[in-house]
Structure 1
Amino acid sequence: MATTPQLRAGEDYKKIFDGKVYADTLFNQIEVEGFTFTEFRLKTLHNIFSKGTIKGKFLLEIGSGPCIHTVIPAAKWFDEIIMTDYSPSNRDMQEKWLKKDAGAHNWDMYFKYYSKLDGNEDNWQQLEAALRPKIKRVLSCDVHLPNPLDPIKLEQVDVICTSACLESACPDKDSYHIAMKNVVSLLKPGGKLILIGILNCTHYTVGSERFQCVSLTRDDVISTVKMNDLKIIEIFDDDSSLDMDAAPFNGSVIILAEKTST
């Protein structure tokens, strides 16, 4: 009888997490019949950034994974985009894309999709050309540290974007709350947080390895945001669910919030 794989966490992200397998498994298509989460995420991010009101000097993405798709529509609104991740494999995949390495994941369909939303599908390569020079740093981060970028001390940033990071980094709701507090400390007063949360997910699979998540409800995410000096501006909901072992979840939420204090 087949045994259930061990649940991985913490240091396993440094030792065994495979960023290429993760990207190839979960980011190899956008439009899937009966599954709206990927399109929901891209359309919502496009909606948030296309207004031109979310902008500034620095955009910091916490827990980028091996991905670049969440910051594509942000490129023209920021002087610098900083990508981060705990896993060396994920940071390596970031660097490969920046250097146009042959081993990089192909994100062309994502640039084309955003360009289609812009009504400019034929010129999707302009988005790619705009993004690559804006990503000037790929840093290590650990959301469990008071300064997640330690030992680097970064000036507080204008915008933080984080997608499905905190729930996969945290074993329980208490640590999720603390991780949120640590991340928000990097945001300047009046700065914006864009949080993409996956709901009711206990684990996800990368290759043959299963990684743990803390299962969160919509109310859990919203209350944690509110308890960390953030005023919610807008909430976007999606009821997509996925039963596959790659990433079983039931629902997602995107929150745009503003930091109200120091």
Structure 2
Amino acid sequence: MDSSPHKLYHVHGFDSRQFLEHYFSDKPDMVFGDDLLKSLIDNLRQVFAVGHINGDILVDLSLGSFVHHLYSACEFFKNIIVLKVNNRCIMELKRWVDERTGAFYWGHTSALLQEKEENSDQFQDQEEKLRSAIQHVVKYDLEKENMIDPLVLPPAECVISAFLLDVISKDQNDYIRYLRKFSRLLKPGGHVILIGSLDSKYFTVGKDKFHIFTYDEDFVRKALVGEGFIIDYCKVKERTSVSDIADYKAIIIIAAHKEK
């Protein structure tokens, strides 16, 4: 039996809208803007622009239902397939994709991307480009050999995973097991982009604290190399936010490609 005092994201679920409001909104009291919005968008822009990461299919396996980490991806991939572990996150994301009333507002994040581009006009419709690129939003089961059984995904050129491995892994063995499962979605030579929180213990949504597996940069590097990846990019952003609703020391973005 799990002895952790914190809830598990993939077991207990959370309020997906409250999660977005806490960590990704444009509200004045949202303290994570530099760590989780500006820095994330800037680094992923660099990863895709200089990393020769492109193709037909990108699979996104990420925590919650945020979308801004995919802005640059839709410039380099024709189709994005999003996998989610619970129905609340699926409904939250589909509300935005379908432009329904009450969808979460992401305009502040697309504006951040425009600021970074010399020709910002081409990014003014970035949200619409991303909506068009997201072809499917599918529920998955982590414990199945084929996570979306009975469906079968076509092999992808890239898998991006933001903060998910952190919250579903109880220990190092779990992390490596799930990383291996995610990498099976790739074509030979395919790329993986991992975004995670270093030296973290928990994050909070509402009154609930959720488990985060504690690891450092050295561990994730060794995990990727051990699974046959060659690391192409790694950036660690030291924490700047001041808040006790999440406990972490830094954000890591690491990109690697699979040896053929």
Which deviates more from structure 2 when the two are superposed, residues 125-134 or residues 45-54? 45-54
Match of 2:193 in 1: 194
Match of 1:37 in 2: 35
Which deviates more from structure 2 when the two are superposed, residues 241-250 or residues 58-67? 241-250
Match of 2:24 in 1: 27
Contact 1:19 / 1:66 at 8 angstroms: preserved in 2? yes
Distance of aligned partners of 1:175 and 1:145 in 2 relative to their CA distance in 1, 3 Å threshold: farther
Contact 2:35 / 2:241 at 8 angstroms: preserved in 1? no
How far apart, CA to CA, are the structure 1 residues paired with 2:33 and 2:215? 20
Match of 2:219 in 1: 220
Matched residue type, 1:139 = V
How far apart, CA to CA, are the structure 2 residues paired with 1:105 and 1:131? 15
Which deviates more from structure 2 when the two are superposed, residues 60-69 or residues 115-124? 115-124
SS of corresponding position for 1:106: coil
Percent identity of the aligned residues?
Answer: 23
How far apart, CA to CA, are the structure 2 residues paired with 1:12 and 1:33? 26
SS of corresponding position for 2:193: strand
How far apart, CA to CA, are the structure 2 residues paired with 1:123 and 1:77? 14
How far apart, CA to CA, are the structure 2 residues paired with 1:23 and 1:155? 30
Match of 1:59 in 2: 58
In structure 2, runs of 5+ residues without a counterpart are none
Match of 2:175 in 1: 176
Count of matched residue positions in the alignment of Structure 1 and Structure 2: 254
How far apart, CA to CA, are the structure 1 residues paired with 2:33 and 2:136? 33
Residue 12 (str. 1) matches residue 12 (str. 2) = yes
TM-score by length of 2: 0.90
Q: How far is 1:144 from its partner?
A: 4.2
Q: How far is 1:50 from its partner?
A: 2.9
Runs (4+) of structure 1 exceeding 3 A deviation are 29-36, 120-125, 142-146
| Counterparts of residues 119-158 of structure 1 (less than 5 Å) | 119-121=118-120, 124-158=123-157
TM-score by length of 1: 0.89
Contact 2:198 / 2:250 at 8 angstroms: preserved in 1? yes
Matched residue type, 2:236 = D
Contact 2:232 / 2:257 at 8 angstroms: preserved in 1? yes
Q: How far is 1:141 from its partner?
A: 2.4
How far apart, CA to CA, are the structure 1 residues paired with 2:31 and 2:95? 31
How far apart, CA to CA, are the structure 1 residues paired with 2:215 and 2:26? 26
Q: How far is 1:193 from its partner?
A: 0.6
Q: How far is 1:57 from its partner?
A: 0.5
| Counterparts of residues 28-107 of structure 1 (less than 5 Å) | 28-29=25-26, 36-38=34-36, 39-51=38-50, 53-107=52-106
Matched residue type, 1:176 = Y
Matched residue type, 1:240 = R
Q: How far is 1:35 from its partner?
A: 7.2
Q: What is the RMSD computed on CA atoms of the aligned residues?
A: 2.3
Distance of aligned partners of 1:190 and 1:133 in 2 relative to their CA distance in 1, 3 Å threshold: same
Q: Deviations over 1:54-86 (max 9, x none)?
A: 110001101252111111111122110111111
